[in-house]
A and B are shown apart, each in its own frame.
Chain A
Amino acid sequence: NAGVTQTPKFRVLKTGQSMTLLCAQDMNHEYMYWYRQDPGMGLRLIHYSVGEGTTAKGEVPDGYNVSRLKKQNFLLGLESAAPSQTSVYFCASSDRDNAEAFFGQGTRLTVV
């Protein structure tokens, strides 16, 4: 039972490079989220989606873009990476009625 799977688990980027983080869930959840976790700041919401084809901005959306072309996948893109985007990124999904969110294992991104 896979749950929420993030790809990749680790990545090092040079400033200005681009990349896409993939989140896949197999629980048929409508809601999906991307968070970043930095020391002492908890998790901050970047973008979220309430269903296939929809996305919305969270607390800290600048520098990121997302897409939800398929219900099971939620992609997070960095067009031009900056050192300030060094963080651990978590994807989560939830069934709105049940509300409990399930998290992926995280992606540790370092921008040098």
Chain B
Amino acid sequence: ELKVEQNPLFLSMQEGKNYTIYCNYSTTSDRLYWYRQDPGKSLESLFVLLSNGAVKQEGRLMASLDTKARLSTLHITAAVHDLSATYFCAVDMDDDMRFGAGTRLTVKP
């Protein structure tokens, strides 16, 4: 059974700092997604990673996928308060999509 593990689950960081969120999964897949969720809101798609070695960047966020290691990372560069949210990775297995537990990020001044 596919398991998707994120770490850390909680992350408090200061503005201007860098950090990485990790997403490990247990079975073979070459499709991985990152979503953002603000409190009380729905999920917003950030990145779609469709192959080994895929790297995508949007603003201060950069996501990568290593299918051989079954690992994806979401790197935050020079964090700002607006990035405070919960970040989820999700892995495509056959026809369904399984989520990690989420990383609650708080960026403090």
Spell out A's residues near B (CB within 8 Å): 31, 33, 35, 40-45, 48, 50, 56, 58-59, 90, 92, 94, 98-106
Assuming A41-B101, A42-B100, A100-B48, is B95 touching A31 (CB within 8 A)?
Answer: yes
What 1/0 flags go to B88-109 for Cβ under 8 Å of A? 1010100111111110000000
What 1/0 flags go to B79-91 for Cβ under 8 Å of A? 0000000001010
Are the C-beta atoms of A99 and B99 separated by less than 8 Å?
A: no
Cα–Cα, bound, A48→B45 (Å): 19
Cα–Cα, bound, A100→B4 (Å): 18
Contacts beyond the supplied A45-B99, A90-B43, A100-B45: 19 A-B pairs with Cβ under 8 Å: A33-B97, A40-B9, A42-B6, A42-B99, A42-B102, A43-B43, A44-B99, A48-B96, A50-B95, A56-B95, A56-B96, A58-B96, A90-B42, A99-B33, A99-B92, A101-B45, A103-B42, A103-B43, A103-B44
Contacting residues, chain A, for B50 (C-beta < 8 A): 99
Are the C-beta atoms of A43 and B92 separated by less than 8 Å?
A: no
Are the C-beta atoms of B98 and A59 separated by less than 8 Å?
A: yes
Q: Count the A-B residue pairs with Cβ separation under 8 angstroms: how many?
A: 57
Cα–Cα, bound, A98→B99 (Å): 18
Assuming A99-B92, A100-B33, is B45 touching A45 (CB within 8 A)?
Answer: no
Cα–Cα, bound, A35→B97 (Å): 10
Cα–Cα, bound, A49→B2 (Å): 19
